[in-house]
């Protein structure tokens, strides 16, 4: 079956559900669903949900001091933190939105950081070695009837404690498909680019960056550092976007912002009108995202999601994380596996 027929089947199914109304390239390649050894970051999107619920499991050992910090979409710390103590083989749930008793104003997007707390409850410390966790977030919406699952960003895996497996799945490149944007079928894009309030700045959730250049920051104690380091300020035009049609023809090249947790609704309106071009993008588009070198030549570590859906319908919604890779790999230098 040709790819044009396959694309037509995908788009047709969406329409059918319509209601009338170098050393500096992040290499987090570990399995994001494996056991997290020291801590976890998870984005949440209460703008997509009526209820957002964090699930944390402790399959190996007790984690009585498990603790959560919450951050807004700008990576500003929300003052309230939450303890979530766990025993061996335990599973626990925590609401995010304030309407359900959580610490975050409903309608807010942002990040959750999970690790252990110190004795004060105001500082996160790594999970005890040999006491890893699993985590994810469930989103439920009574508005559109859709449910979504957000998988974690794990700082380092319990099974492969090597720097090449740290901070999965934050990478410096990614790609996604989007069908032609119309009034019936649309795609939203979410980018997650943590700032140094998550790790790097004094008082950040996962500790201050020790400094250094290249990969010399990496240590085997405490929380693993991220490389490139998370930036301090807003990130303007730091993601390069290259758009192709489904016949592999290059069409557009431009840059967009990526500031902690950022949402692009109806990408033909919020990113580029090409996504709705009925002639050049008739069968949809393939988009590659790579980070643009910033100050000092450092790139941005990011991940993201697409939300493709039929407008006005509770069915035919496809929510998924980008395929990812390092910037050199996405750009064709497949020998660079960092």
User: For residue 150, is pLDDT > 90?
Assistant: yes
> What per-residue confidence (pLDDT) applies to 5?
47
pLDDT number for residue 335: 52
Nearest Cα to 184, choosing from 49, 11, 5, 320? 11
Residue 233 has a pLDDT of 76
Helix (H), strand (E) at residue 3: helix 3-16
Q: What is the mean pLDDT of residues 288-301?
A: 76
- Rounded CA separation 301/293 (Å): 11
Closest-CA residue to 162 (of 310, 320, 14, 28): 28
Structure tokens given for 233: 């300020």
Q: How far apart are CA 76 and CA 114, in angstroms?
A: 16
**CB within 8 A of 153, min separation 6: which ones?**
28, 32, 40, 41, 42, 43, 167, 168, 169, 170, 192, 303
Mean pLDDT for all residues in the chain: 85
Half-sphere exposure of 217 (CA within 13 A, CB side): 23
Least confident of 74-88, 171-185, 206-220: 206-220
Q: Are the C-beta atoms of residues 111 and 41 closer than 8 Å to each other? A: yes
Report DSSP letters for 15-48, one per residue: HHT-----TTS----S-TTS-BSS-EEEEEEGGG
Residue 296 has pLDDT above 60, yes or no: no
222, 127 Cβ separation under 8 angstroms: no
**Over 80: is that where the pLDDT of 16 sits?**
no
Q: What is the mean pLDDT of residues 264-276?
A: 96
pLDDT of 143 reads 82
Could you tell me what percent of the chain has a pLDDT over 70? 83
Q: How confident is the model at residue 29 (pLDDT cuts 50, 70, 90)?
A: confident
pLDDT digits (tens, 9 = 90+) for 278-291: 999 999 999 999 98
- Calculate what percentage of the chain has a pLDDT beyond 90: 55
Token pair 């290249």: residue: 214
Separation between Cα atoms, residue 192 and residue 262, nearest integer Å: 7
Q: Report how far residue 206's alpha carbon sits from residue 195's, in angstroms, rounded to the nearest whole number.
A: 11
Instruction: Write out the two tokens for 65.
Output: 């001091």
What's the pTM value of the predicted model, to 2 decimals? 0.89
* pLDDT for 208: 82
- Break the chain into its structural domains and give their ranges: 1-29+169-338, 31-159
Q: Is the pLDDT of residue 326 over 90?
A: no
Residue bearing the bigger pLDDT, 25 or 101: 101
The SS3 call for residue 327 is helix
**Cα gap 175→326, rounded to integer Å:** 11
Query: For 230-246, how does the pLDDT look when each residue is reduced to its tens digit (9 = 90+)?
Result: 888 777 888 999 999 99
Q: What is the mean pLDDT of residues 112-140?
A: 94
Question: Is residue 24 pLDDT above 50, yes or no?
Answer: no
Fold (topology level) of 31-159: Immunoglobulin-like (2.60.40)
Report pLDDT for 7.
Answer: 52
Q: Quickly list DSSP for 98-152.
A: GGGT-SB-TT-EEEEEEEEE-TTSSSEEPPPTT--BEEEEEEE-TTT--EEEE--
Residue 336 above 50 pLDDT? no
């Amino acid at each position: 079956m040709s790819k044009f027929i396959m694309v037509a089947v995908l788009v047709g199914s969406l329409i059918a559900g319509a209601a009338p109304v170098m050393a500096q390239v992040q290499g987090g390649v570990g399995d994001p669903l494996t056991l997290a050894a020291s801590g976890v970051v998870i984005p949440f999107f209460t703008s997509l949900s009526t209820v957002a619920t964090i699930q944390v499991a402790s399959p190996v050992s007790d984690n009585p001091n498990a603790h959560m910090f919450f951050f807004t979409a700008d990576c500003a710390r929300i003052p309230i933190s939450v303890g979530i103590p766990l025993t061996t083989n335990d599973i626990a749930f925590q609401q995010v939105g304030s309407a359900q008793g959580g610490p975050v104003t409903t309608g807010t997007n942002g990040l959750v950081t999970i690790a252990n707390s110190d004795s004060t409850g105001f500082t996160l410390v790594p999970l005890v070695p040999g006491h890893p966790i699993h985590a994810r977030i469930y989103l439920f919406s009574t508005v559109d009837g859709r449910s979504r699952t957000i998988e974690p960003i794990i700082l380092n895996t319990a099974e492969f404690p090597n720097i090449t497996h740290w901070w999965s799945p934050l990478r410096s490149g990614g790609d996604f498909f989007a069908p032609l944007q119309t009034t019936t079928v649309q795609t939203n894009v979410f980018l997650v680019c943590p700032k140094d309030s998550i790790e790097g700045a004094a008082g950040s959730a996962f500790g201050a960056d020790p400094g250094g250049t290249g990969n010399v920051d990496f240590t085997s104690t405490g929380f693993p550092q991220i490389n490139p380091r998370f930036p301090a300020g807003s990130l303007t035009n730091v993601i390069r976007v290259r758009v192709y049609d489904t016949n592999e023809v290059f069409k557009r090249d431009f840059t967009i912002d990526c500031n902690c947790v950022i949402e692009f609704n109806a990408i033909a309106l919020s990113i580029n009108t090409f996504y709705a071009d009925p002639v050049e993008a008739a069968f949809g588009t393939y988009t590659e995202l790579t980070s643009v070198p910033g100050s000092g030549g450092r790139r941005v570590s990011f991940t993201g999601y697409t939300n493709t859906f039929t407008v006005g319908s509770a069915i035919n919604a496809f929510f998924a994380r980008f395929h990812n890779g390092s910037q050199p790999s996405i750009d064709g230098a497949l020998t660079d596996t960092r």
